[in-house]
Amino acid sequence: MVGVPAHRVAVIGDVGGHLDELRAELRRLGADAETGRLPDDLTVVQVGDLVHRGPASAAVIQLVDGYLRTQPAQWVQLVGNHEAQYLREPVFRWPERLDARSARTLRRWWADGLLRVAAWVRDDAGEEFLITHAGLTAEFWRDTLGAPRGAERAATMLNGLIGADDGADNPALFRAGSMLHRRGPVRGAGPLWACTATELLPGWLATPLPFSQVHGHDSLFDWRKRRFRVPGDLARLTVLEDEARHETTALDGGRIIGIDPCHSGEPCGRWAAWETRTRPAQAHPPAQAPPGFGGSGIE
Ligand SMILES: [Mn+2]
């Protein structure tokens, strides 16, 4: 019997306004060199932080807007803390500010359910991955979501938080951690903000993972200084892939894979998307779903 053809999912880490880097990686993944069109067998998930740092934030937003318009079933856009600056009152100072048109585009994506908090995928070996900007901490998973066992359920619940508490001063979804507050780690920092070394990993050392995770935002390994930001026992659980700038920490119940290339104002050099294979129905949203599929909480 011929099975359903395998489908490729490529998860792209933080872009940081580096249009040329994003374009080059999409071409490597099979996008048409002229038109940029994605091949039919590929779904891209981008983990957020499209903007700031690099030279071309507005053009990155425009490129992604094109994919969301023309190939909406093949581009899943997640929200990062840098996009959130334009969706709510800004919470941190940043030297750059997006132009009004780009900010409006982000707000339209958010209102239309095109900018999500979480995606999920089950690979063809059966391993489930939750994909978010900064990772889902054990405390947020347990206390805010009520400890869902599957990645699909967790993604649906996270996306259901969009708009649910927009009026609140400090809604769980946007709960920042040590990176913003410059104090000790925050138990239950949200999926846009959790610091990998001090807020994401520690909780999962004490709690078996219900599913694996892929995230951007920051890293356990400082790629520039070439040293771990964590003690040796945690570092020893982590395998580095230098060429791709991926770090994989093996824990009880699953693994946590960090894919932030850590671009600064200059691109970092070598990096790559994290790729896996799945069957078309085993990703969120499914490959053929209409735009807005997946219970974002926005009607
Ligand atoms: Mn970030």
Per-residue pLDDT tens digits for 17-27: 999 999 999 99
CATH code, domain with 269 = 3.60.21
49 alpha carbon – ligand 1 mean position (Å): 6
Q: Give the confidence band of 166 by pLDDT, cuts at 50, 70, 90.
A: low
The pLDDT tens digits for 49-96 are 999 999 999 999 999 999 999 999 999 999 999 999 999 989 899 999
The total number of structural domains in the chain stands at 1
Residue 51, in any domain of the structure: yes
Query: Got the DSSP string for 17-39?
Result: T-HHHHHHHHHHTT--TTT-PPP
37 alpha carbon – ligand 1 mean position (Å): 27
Distance CA 109, CA 204 (A): 32
- Of 219, 213, 216, give the one whose Cα is nearest residue 196: 219
Residue 296, in any domain of the structure: no
**Residue 221 domain boundaries:** 7-282
46 alpha carbon – ligand 1 mean position (Å): 12
Residue 116, in any domain of the structure: yes
DSSP tag of 143: I
- Neighbouring residues of 45: CB distance < 8 A, sequence distance ≥ 6: 9, 10, 11, 12, 76, 78, 119, 121, 131
Distance CA 254, CA 272 (A): 22
Residue 146, in any domain of the structure: yes
Supply the pTM of this predicted model: 0.93
Is the separation of the CB atoms in 248 and 255 below 8 Å?
Answer: yes
Amino acid letter, 101: R
Residue 299, in any domain of the structure: no
179 alpha carbon – ligand 1 mean position (Å): 10
209 alpha carbon – ligand 1 mean position (Å): 22
2 alpha carbon – ligand 1 mean position (Å): 42
152 alpha carbon – ligand 1 mean position (Å): 23
The pLDDT tens digits for 269-293 are 999 999 999 976 666 655 444 333 3
Task: Please give the angle made by the CA atoms of 31, 257 and 7, to the nearest 5 degrees.
Answer: 35
Is 60 exceeded by the pLDDT of residue 208?
A: yes
3-state secondary structure of 101: helix
26 alpha carbon – ligand 1 mean position (Å): 21
3 alpha carbon – ligand 1 mean position (Å): 38
Residue 138, in any domain of the structure: yes
Residue 141, in any domain of the structure: yes
Q: What residues flank ion ligand 1 with Cβ within 5 A?
A: 49, 80-81, 217
> What percent of the chain shows pLDDT beyond 70?
90
Residue 291, in any domain of the structure: no
Helical ranges in 8-112 per DSSP H: 19-28, 57-70, 81-84, 100-111
